[in-house]
Amino acid sequence: MSQRFLGRNVLVTGASRGIGLGIAQRLAALGANVAVTARTAEEHPTLPGSLAESLAALRAAGPGRHVAIVADLADAESRARIVPEARAALGSVDVLVNNAAAAIYQSTLDYPLRRRRVVLEVNFHAPLDLAQQAIPEMRARGEGWIVNVSSASARHAAGPPFGGGPVAATIGVYGASKAALNRITNALGLELYGTGIRVNTIEPRAAVLSPGAETLVGGTLTPDQIEPLDAMVEATLALCDCGPERTGKVHVSLDLLAELGIAVPSWGAPGQ
| 182-213 pLDDT, tens digit each | 999 999 999 999 999 999 999 998 878 655 55
List, in sequence order, every residue forming a beta bridge with 34; answer none if it has no partner: 10, 66
Average pLDDT over residues 242-252: 97
| Catalytic residue (one of 105, 111, 174, 193) | 174
Select the CATH number that applies to the domain covering 9-260 from these four: 3.40.30.160, 3.40.640.10, 3.40.50.1110, 3.40.50.720: 3.40.50.720
pLDDT at 223 over 80: no
More confident site: 266 or 238: 238
Rg (alpha carbons) of the chain, rounded to whole number = 17
- pLDDT score recorded for residue 216: 47
- Active site annotation includes 174: yes
Spell out the domain ranges in the chain. Answer: 9-260
Q: Is residue 123 packed enough to be buried (19+ CB in 10 Å), middle (13-18) or exposed (0-12)?
A: buried
169: three-class secondary structure by DSSP:
coil
pLDDT at 264 over 90: no
CA dihedral for 62, 252, 127, 146, sign (positive or negative): positive
Instruction: Say if residues 123 and 178 touch (Cβ distance below 8 Å).
Output: yes
Residue 246: closest CA among 208, 202, 183: 202
- Helical H segments across the chain, by residue range: 18-29, 51-61, 76-79, 82-90, 113-120, 126-141, 165-168, 172-192, 211-217, 229-240, 253-260
Q: What contacts 127, CB < 8 A, 6 or more positions away?
A: 13, 98, 148, 181, 184
Sheet holding 249-252, edge to edge: 66-70, 33-38, 9-13, 95-98, 144-149, 197-203, 249-252
Portion of the chain with pLDDT greater than 90, in percent: 81
pLDDT at 2 over 60: yes
243: three-class secondary structure by DSSP:
coil
According to DSSP, the β-strands at 95-98 and 144-149 are parallel
| 164-184 pLDDT, tens digit each | 788 899 999 999 999 999 999
